[in-house]
Structure 1
Amino acid sequence: MILLLLILTLLSLSRGRPNSSIVNHSTQLLRRLGVKRVPFQFDPYKEGLYYTNLDQNLRQVILNARNWTQISTLSNIDFIRAHNVELGRMQQTIPASSRFPCNLSQTRSPDVASHISRLRPGDIDIVAAFGDSTIAGTGIMALGFWDLMVEYRGFAYTGDGIESWRTVLTLPNILKLYNPNLYGYAVAHSLSADVKRSRLNVAEPMLYLLDLPFQVHVLIDRLHKDPKVNIHVGPNDICSELCYWHDLEAFLRLEERQLYASFRLLRDNVPRLLINFIIQPDIDDVMNVFSEMPDDCTTKASFFCNCHGKYKQEKYYNVAKRFFDMQKSIASLPELQRDDFAIVTHEIFKNVSNLWSRNGALDKRFMANDCIHYSQLAHAVLAKLLWNNMLNQTDFTLSEARRRPFEYFLCPNADRQFLRTTGDRF
């Protein structure tokens, strides 16, 4: 059984009443990772890994509040969806008379693949995902301020599979066509805490690459406990973390150490694993997106990416550049590539400003209401780009074709039977 793990550029709920044992388990995982608890104080920002007693004491309160917001908002899902359709933020529905663009025959190996480079799309039995708010589906359908933090996990492009490719194009909804028994994707809009619905999508909003080892432990724990499994960050690091560090070299060293530790944990604990590692965008691309935002979006986006104003300073800009290169460097280490384990990096956010812009201005159809997270239409586009890049090198010059979910859609064929692995040409 092959586990496809989707990473990006990282408690069972009963209605409103979280299970306290899950909260305690979170604390146990933090201690296992050497993350210390410190007293909460109104003092300047601390550098490093820690949590406060206030974090621990308010964990259930915050979880209850998030769950209440989630449930109350989703009770109006039909109205929310209809309004997003009017705004052009949803992909167009593909009629039943239209066939999927690819031939779906002979896409599963007759025998279990003995080497990860011989992996066909139909060989993937389990998908899992971890990362930050993008992978959690935060704000995809939001219409106002109060529902910006609702997690539409079932629409996120990497690890979610409600409905089908005709209405919601995600990577799991593509893979389900090749293997109807695919398992692990989220089956509803839910918090990660709702294990029955989020399944192996353990993404959480506001996570940093620094938090990846914790999330890896959560995933491994779910894999071991799930009876159906035999044996998975984003721009927050440069948007909301880096600019608060005085020692920028220490920041880079810690980020590098945490990413390396996460990959090693996965290599040593999850057999027969292919990791799709989605590289965080280059700082130049991030700044280009900000420059093309209308005024109302700039105000909103600055709240979620409050570090962007500091990248005019050379020291912060240079570290953000090195952060981009560090991700690829760690993922390409020889010790992290084996016959049954591979990391494939994906730069699907390359030239991302051109992807979301038209005539030098941000196209709001691709943005959620907060102008930072992506709409369902954008998630469909990203699903197509990730799928294409799993098969072959993506052509980033086809700007208009990239913006449409079903244009320039690659398919396995006689010359391209297997998914790309690290030895392939990018």
Structure 2
Amino acid sequence: MTSLRKLASVFAIAIVAFPFSEADLPCIGVNRNKTMGEFIKDNLDFSDFLRAHKEKGKFFKKIVLDENHFPCKKLARSLSKPTSIDKLRPGDIDIIAAVGDSLTAASGARASNILGISNAYKGLTFSIGGYFAQERGAEAKSSIYNNVSTHFTIANALKFYNPNLKGFSAGISSGEDWNSGFNMAVPGAKAIHLRAQVRKLVRELKKSTDFDNDWKLVTFFIGGNNLCQTCVDPNSSASNFEKDVKYSLDYLHQHLPRAFVNLITIFDISFLKSMSKGHPICDLAHTCFCSCALESPRKVRRISKNYVEVLTNLVETGRYDTRDDFKVVIQPFLEDIEPPQVDGKPDLTYFAPDCFHFSQRGHNSAGRYLWNNMFELKKSRPNTFDPNMPIKCPTEEMPYLVA
């Protein structure tokens, strides 16, 4: 017990001294003047630390990785750049980009404890991550995650077809770092904040790409922070959510040529209550930034479905189908997802130490799902979790992304 007490003391000092970054997630409601790091510092009971450490895995996470068997064959780019999005092959995509919140910033993806949640591991992000090196010590080789076999992301999969793909994220980065690539995501962002992100994206693309001719894949994923604040922020209604998303999609439609936009619908975050059980730090984290899911799970579940409905209806109006070189495609793979289970309990190896954000394993799985959605007909796109789902491959007979 003495060694555990020493370890708890070290952990306590580390939390107090740790300089949580500006990207640290903000609390909401009565705790809105604090960040998650500050909230945990003020409320962590280290007797909980001792109990949890004895049960292992609740404070210091073992990082679990999956191997990927990518069965797809090389598929050539089009002989000339396609002019229609219906003829877009994966190798034709020149630029990859993304807008969103901490899920697209990959907050905490490689973290082994709560101190790492403020780090944006953008190089591992399921939609746009393309390079991440994990040092193993001076005498050991680094583990490098930069291809579809070592870590499945959309960027890594596209590099299989086009090694010259530009825009993917690398390493740990913030919104202003060069290695963010065209990943504009900002932790804590809500739908209204994507207005600034899409404007910045277009500016950056104009500066450093063949803007009019390059084909672009943009992943648009938002809504978690809106849902987390539904019980304290009246502006998080489904109608306001739709208005903010529509503004940003309209902007891309008006200003971005040759673009395939993945619009990922949000998952139901009411399952957070089950994730917190028996995990004191996760409970504190959820109380800080997503208390609505704990206090009003039925309301959150209802509004989550409303979010999906308004986005689906928005796209199905045909509002974004007025050009041959632009398409917004609903990707529903997270809509009805439930946390993966092991021994009847949530499998936390798919989640960061706050039991909310995706871990590296979670991003790997999300990348596989999004990839499959991109090559499946709308009626065939899965919206539930199956870790053994085979990877879909474009073929010479069916080589195009499904728009």
Fold equivalence (TM over 0.5): yes
- CA offsets 1:127-175 (integer angstroms, 9 cap, x no match): 0011010111111111223221111110001011012222221110000
Where in structure 1 are there 5+ consecutive unaligned residues?
A: 1-42, 47-53, 55-83, 422-426
**Which residue, 173, 189, 209 being the options, matches 1:190?**
173
Q: Is the 8 A contact 2:194 2:245 kept in 1?
A: yes
Show the counterpart of 1:128.
Answer: 97
Q: Which moved more, 1:162-171 or 1:337-346?
A: 162-171
Shift in Å at residue 390 of structure 1?
0.4
Q: Is the 8 A contact 1:391 1:419 kept in 2?
A: yes
Q: Is the 8 A contact 2:372 2:392 kept in 1?
A: yes
**Which residue, 128, 143, 150 being the options, matches 2:119?**
150
Shift in Å at residue 110 of structure 1?
1.3
Show the counterpart of 2:240.
Answer: 254
2:111 partner letter: A
The equivalences for 1:49-198 within 5 A come to 87-92=62-67, 100-106=70-76, 108-162=77-131, 163-194=146-177, 196-198=178-180
Show the counterpart of 1:244.
Answer: 232
| Closer/same/farther in 2, CA of residues 273 and 324 from structure 1, 3 Å limit | same
State whether structure 2 residue 358 is matched by structure 1 residue 374.
Answer: yes
Give the root-mean-square deviation of aligned CA atoms. Answer: 3.2
Distance 2:373 2:305 in 1: 23
- CA offsets 1:33-64 (integer angstroms, 9 cap, x no match): xxxxxxxxxx9999xxxxxxx9xxxxxxxxxx
Distance 1:349 1:206 in 2: 19
Q: Is the 8 A contact 2:334 2:384 kept in 1?
A: no
Show the counterpart of 2:329.
Answer: 344
Q: Give the count of matched residue pairs.
A: 328
2:65 partner letter: M
| Closer/same/farther in 2, CA of residues 274 and 322 from structure 1, 3 Å limit | same
Show the counterpart of 2:211.
Answer: 230
Distance 1:387 1:290 in 2: 29
| Closer/same/farther in 2, CA of residues 203 and 342 from structure 1, 3 Å limit | same
Q: Is the 8 A contact 1:351 1:396 kept in 2?
A: no
Shift in Å at residue 117 of structure 1?
1.0
Normalised TM-score (structure 2): 0.73
**Which residue, 240, 251, 272 being the options, matches 1:265?**
251
Distance 1:188 1:165 in 2: 16
2:102 partner letter: S
**Which residue, 255, 259, 265 being the options, matches 1:279?**
265
Secondary structure at 1:277's aligned position in 2? strand
Shift in Å at residue 362 of structure 1?
0.7
Distance 2:301 2:70 in 1: 43
- CA offsets 1:101-127 (integer angstroms, 9 cap, x no match): 111133x11122121111111111110
Distance 1:151 1:279 in 2: 22
Shift in Å at residue 379 of structure 1?
0.6
Distance 1:140 1:45 in 2: 25
Shift in Å at residue 395 of structure 1?
6.0
Distance 1:323 1:382 in 2: 20
State whether structure 2 residue 187 is matched by structure 1 residue 212.
Answer: no
Secondary structure at 2:230's aligned position in 1? helix
Show the counterpart of 1:200.
Answer: 182
State whether structure 2 residue 290 is matched by structure 1 residue 309.
Answer: no
Show the counterpart of 1:73.
Answer: none
Distance 2:62 2:297 in 1: 34
Distance 1:201 1:358 in 2: 33
Q: Is the 8 A contact 1:241 1:307 kept in 2?
A: yes
| Closer/same/farther in 2, CA of residues 269 and 411 from structure 1, 3 Å limit | same
Normalised TM-score (structure 1): 0.70
Q: Is the 8 A contact 2:106 2:121 kept in 1?
A: yes
- CA offsets 1:210-262 (integer angstroms, 9 cap, x no match): 21111111111111222x342353343444322113577xx333222211111
Distance 2:305 2:370 in 1: 23
Distance 1:300 1:234 in 2: 20
| Closer/same/farther in 2, CA of residues 390 and 85 from structure 1, 3 Å limit | farther
Q: Is the 8 A contact 2:333 2:370 kept in 1?
A: yes
Distance 1:44 1:141 in 2: 30
Where in structure 2 are there 5+ consecutive unaligned residues?
A: 1-28, 34-58, 132-145, 213-217
Distance 1:206 1:137 in 2: 12
Q: Is the 8 A contact 2:97 2:168 kept in 1?
A: yes
Shift in Å at residue 273 of structure 1?
0.8
**Which residue, 344, 368, 391 being the options, matches 2:375?**
391
Distance 2:263 2:383 in 1: 22
1:348 partner letter: F
